[in-house]
Amino acid sequence: MGRAFVYVIIGGGVAAGYAALEFTKRGVSQGELCIISEESVVPYERPALSKGFLLPEAPARLPSFHTCVGANEERLTPKWYKEHGIELVLGTRVKSADVKRKTLLTATGETISYKILIVATGARALKLEEFGLSGSDAANVCYLRDVADATRLVDVMQSCTGGNAVVIGGGYIGMECAASLVINKINVTMVFPEAHCMARLFTPKIASYYEDFYTAKGVKFIKGTVLSSFDMNSNGKVTAVNLRDGNHLSADMVVVGIGIRPNTALFEGQLTLDKGGIKVNGRMQTSNSSVYAVGDVAAFPVKLFGESRRLEHVDSARKSAKHAVAAIMEPEKTDEFDYLPFFYSRVFTLSWQFYGDGVGEIVHFGDFSGTTFGAYWVSKGHLVGSFLEGGTKEQYEALSKVTRLKPAIEDVAELQRQGLGFALLV
Ligand code: FAD
Ligand code: NDP
C-alpha cells in the first residue's frame, strides 16, 4: 500500500519550507506535492532556536517563526499547507530510498512514490561518542539542532539559574548558546580545541574582539584543549567536566556544539557524494536526474569561486531550495545557480555579516575598540571576502555588492586606508 505524488520533499526544515512556497508561487496543483519530515511541526526558521527561543523574557515560540518569515515572506502555518493542498507527513522518518524505483519507505511502513524528489534532509549534530567520549544521554547535557532540543535546553537552563554551564565547542552553536546562557544568568565557561573562537571564519584579531566582549560579560575561555570525561552523580547528571589539560570544572549543565554531519545515509551508494554531502549541478540536480538536493546536504558549484561547496547556512538553504524548484518547474527559463555565500550571527548587542570566501591576505579596517570594524580577504589580486560587525543595512548591501564583483586590488595598503569606504564607492 502506498501513495504517489508528482513532487516529494524529504525533510521538513528551512529548505523544505522555502521550496514549498516557491512551488505554490509557480503553480503546483492540489495534491501534487508531499513533504515528509521526521519533525512533528511544519518547517520553521531554525536560526531562531539559538537566539529568540532562548530568551528569558518574551521568548520566540512556534507558530511565530515558521518559514518563511525569516526572508520577509509569508508565514507558512499548518493551515497554509492545507489550503494549498500540500500533503504533510510529519513525525515520520524515511527509512530507505530507492532512486531507481522512485520510492521511499517510511518508518511507519508506507511506500511513497514520486516523479521528482527533493532531498532536504539537512544535517545532524555530531555526538561526543563519535569522538570516543561518552555522556551524551546525561540529563543535563544538551545539543541544539531542532525545536525538541531547544525545548529541552530551555528546561535544563531554567533549572540552573545562577549555576555553572560548560559549553563545548567554539563555533556557531557554542558562541550563540554561551551568549544566551549569560542572558539567562548562568555562569559560562567555553572550551574548544583551537587558539580562538570561530576558528574557521574569524581572524585572530576579529576573534579577540568577541572574546573580550564575552569576557566582559563574565564568560571564561579555556582554549587549546578538549573534554576528556564527565563526573556523574547517581541521578545520571553531570556534576563536573574533566579536560585533557587537567582542568576540572564543576558544572550544572553542559552544551555541546562540535559540528554537524549532513544526512546523506539514505542515498549512499545511489547518488554521487561530494564534500560530505550530495553532489548537485547548477540546477541542484543530483547524479540521478529525478532527484534534486538543497540546503545543508547539497554540495553545489559556487560559480564565483569556480568550485563546489557545501554550505551550512540559512541563506543558502533558502535560495538553493528556491532555485531547485525553479529548475524543476521552468527548466528552460532557469539559469545555473549563481550564489554569493552569506553568513551572519547576532549575539548580545553584536551583529556581523560575512560575504564570499575567507581565503587569502586579510585586510582589517575600522575601529576595533569601537563598534564598527571589519575585514576584506584578497586572493590572487582580487577581493573575495568581506566581514563587517555593527554595520547598517546600506553598508552590508555595499559589502555584498563589492564581494560579488570581485574587484582587482592593486594596492592592499590603499584598500586598508579606504576601509569600508572602498565598498561604499563601488
Ligand atoms: P534543516 O533545516 O536541518 O532541515 C532538515 C530536515 O530534514 C529536518 O526537519 C529533519 O528532521 C529532516 N530529516 C532528516 N532526515 C530525515 C529522514 N530520513 N526522514 C524524514 N525527515 C528527515 N544559519 C545561518 O545562516 N544563520 C543563523 O543564525 C543560523 N542559526 C542556526 C541556529 C541553530 C540552532 C541551528 C541548528 C542552525 C542554524 N543555522 C543558521 C543553520 C541553518 O539553520 C541551516 O543551514 C538550515 O536549517 C539548513 O536547512 P535544511 O533545510 O538544509 O536543513
Ligand atoms: P561549527 O562547525 O561551527 O563549530 C564546531 C566547533 O566545535 C569548532 O570550533 C570545532 O573545532 C569544535 N570542536 C570539534 N570537536 C570538538 C571537541 N571534541 N571538543 C571541543 N570542541 C570541538 O559547528 P556548531 O556545532 O557550532 O554548529 C552546528 C551547525 O549549526 C553548523 O552547520 C552551523 O553553521 C550552524 N549554525 C549556524 C549559525 C549561524 O550561522 N549563525 C548559528 C548556529 C548554528 P574544529 O574547527 O577544530 O573542528
Asked if omega into 63 is within 30° of 0 (cis), the reply is yes
79-119 pLDDT, tens digit each: 999 999 999 999 999 999 999 999 999 999 999 999 999 99
Minimal-distance CA residue to ligand 1 atom 41: 313
Amino acid 422: pLDDT: 98
* pLDDT tens, position by position, 253-312: 999 999 999 999 999 999 999 999 999 999 999 999 999 999 999 999 999 999 999 999
pLDDT digits (tens, 9 = 90+) for 344-379: 999 999 999 999 999 999 999 999 999 999 999 999
C-alpha cell at 53: 527561543
- Model pLDDT for residues 155-165, shown as the tens digit of each residue: 999 999 999 99
For a pocket test of ligand 2, which of 131, 168, 172, 210 has the largest count of ligand atoms closer than 8 A to its C-beta? 172
| pLDDT on residue 155 | 98
Interface ipTM above 0.95 = yes
Which residues neighbour 95 within 8 Å (Cβ) at sequence distance 6 or greater? 105, 106, 107
Q: Grid coordinates in use for 155?
A: 528546561
The ligand that comes nearest to the alpha carbon of residue 226 is: 2
What angle (nearest 5°) sits at the alpha carbon of residue 228, between those of residues 234 and 250? 55
Is the pLDDT at 1 greater than 80? The verdict is no
Q: What is the pLDDT of residue 241?
A: 98
- For the chain, the distance separating the N- and C-terminal CA atoms, rounded to the nearest angstrom, is 60
> Which pLDDT belongs to residue 214?
98
CA 369 to ligand 2 center in whole angstroms: 27
User: What are the tens digits of pLDDT across the range 317-351?
Assistant: 999 999 999 999 999 999 999 999 999 999 999 99
Task: Summarize pLDDT for 15-42 with one digit per residue, the tens.
Answer: 999 999 999 999 999 999 999 999 999 9
Q: Is the CB of 12 under 6 A from ligand 1?
A: yes
Counting from 1 in the atom list of ligand 1, the atom nearest the Cα of 50 is 34
State in Å: Cα 268 to ligand 1 middle.
20
**Count of C-beta atoms within a 10 Å radius of residue 126:** 16
Tell me which residue has its CA closest to atom 41 in ligand 2.
345
259 neighbors 171 (Cβ within 8 angstroms): yes
Distance, in Å, from the CA atom of 405 to the CA atom of 423, rounded to the nearest integer, reads 10
Which pLDDT tens digit goes with each residue over 40-69?
999 999 999 999 999 999 999 999 999 999
Angle at which helix 314-329 crosses helix 14-25, to 10 degrees, equals 30
The whole-angstrom separation of Cα 106 and Cα 93 is 6
Instruction: Say yes or no: CB of residue 286 within 6 Å of ligand 1.
Output: no
According to DSSP, the residues that pair with 242 across neighbouring strands are: 229, 248
pLDDT at residue 426 in the model: 85
Q: Are 330 and 324 in contact (CB under 8 A)?
A: no
Looking at residue 3, what is its pLDDT? 97
pTM confidence score = 0.97
